[in-house]
Structure 1
């Protein structure tokens, strides 16, 4: 791979996905793209780049998808999910008692463990949320991981990573050597192909946004821009959850730290109050029934 090839791929990945590759990440490109080059019938990265430059959109999409990190597991880092269950849901039940609806966005949802973790926690609160309209919108830029998410089918290894045994028994059924999430939980989540560099307004407004472990791959300017745009689709009294290695500090005034809740952030009321109202974007909702 020549320096020009690397520069081309760096720019392509930043423009298409926001992913920023530093100069010392050539090994990562080679390890992920050499198998793709062989699949495309070319001997190396340079030939792959030439084929991309010739106008192969499908190949470009394959390259972006190959470079996207899809590491995830159920109840990842645990603490944010405890905050969601023990503090955020009870507070929102009080705050939304009049309209009896909740909208949650899982950005960069990967293979679905995060939105399904939230769905199971909401199922556990079914008696308190009887008659409520619950909508979990999960987005990712990878069609492949979205298809896996919709199936809700996971290996023994995947369900052993973070998923409590009582929830496995309660909400999954065994299919051969795999485990499939029950249909009533899967139906609580709707998946959409979406890139965080796109305009958020079509998604509508959300009470809770989970945007965890994805911003670490973006540069400072892109992070700031995303935070400012997230605030505009986050309800003024809503919540933003970030990953353990992510923060808004020094990047935006749109959010402030939520005291005593690690990884949870609140829209700044002064900034949020000036954000234009947004429609719900025509997305369907699903009712939360009994357990």
Structure 2
């Protein structure tokens, strides 16, 4: 791979997916794209670049983009965002939505499905508290390939051992050799869609909770600002945004503000008063909804 090839691919990936590669990531390009070159019968990275520059390269362009943006995921990753879900967000929303009884959740950059399925299992564990409630989980990702895996809901022994409590494994998964498939009742709670966060996503509608974790770290500052500002337009006035441990809205946008003592949790800056504020205080104080 020549320096010119690398520069071209850096620009290509930023335009297609927002991914920012530093000057020293040639090894990453080679490790991710050489398997594609072999499958396509190409000699190497330089031939991939030549094909990408030629007309009719959309199929290859999609393969290259997906290969470079596929990131790992695991069940209940980082724990804290799921504690926020149980201790803060759901109690507040159950109080605030008592009349409507409808909650919408968006998992952006859902990868192979562990995050949305973790939330689905938590909701199922709430049992009677959610009877007669309609809760939607929309999970999106740029990569159609990883979403197909997510829809199948089948994971290796290694994958289910990463973060998944043994009691949930036994309760919500069925084993077939060294593979584990999540129960249809959990799988049906999550709806998957292919989505590029660089594009307009207003058609998704408004959400009460948005999980957008461990994806902004790959973007430059203008791209982060754009994604956050567009997400803010879809966040209910008394809704929530979850970011990864290495991500923040501070210094990027004033559309969200951090929740005190709740790492990674943000609320719209223009959150209303009255019942909305009361429900937040109820949740942060540790209140529970029967």
Under a length normalisation based on structure 1, what TM-score does the superposition of the two structures give? 0.91
Counterpart of 1:178? 179
Counterpart of 1:276? none
Secondary structure of the structure 2 residue equivalent to 1:238: strand
Counterpart of 1:169? 170
- Cα offset for 1:169? 1.2
- How many correspondences in the alignment? 272
Cα deviation 1:135-180 (Å, max 9, x = unaligned): 0000001111111001111111111000001111111111232111
Secondary structure of the structure 2 residue equivalent to 1:269: coil
Distance 2:139 2:96 in 1: 23
Counterpart of 1:53? 53
Secondary structure of the structure 2 residue equivalent to 1:122: helix
Distance 1:2 1:130 in 2: 60
- Cα offset for 1:6? 1.4
Counterpart of 1:22? 22
Counterpart of 1:44? 44
Report the aligned-residue RMSD.
Answer: 1.3
- Cα offset for 1:21? 0.9
Structure 2: any 5+ residue segments left out of the alignment? 274-290
Matched, 1:197 2:198: yes
Counterpart of 2:221? 220
Counterpart of 1:12? 12
1:98-137 alignment, distance < 5 Å? 98-137=99-138
CA contact (8 A) 2:70 2:146 kept: no
CA contact (8 A) 2:105 2:138 kept: yes
Structure 1: any 5+ residue segments left out of the alignment? 274-291
CA contact (8 A) 2:37 2:43 kept: yes
Under a length normalisation based on structure 2, what TM-score does the superposition of the two structures give? 0.91
Moved over 6 A (4+): none
Distance 1:47 1:155 in 2: 34
Counterpart of 2:241? 240
Secondary structure of the structure 1 residue equivalent to 2:210: strand
- Cα offset for 1:23? 1.1
Counterpart of 1:285? none
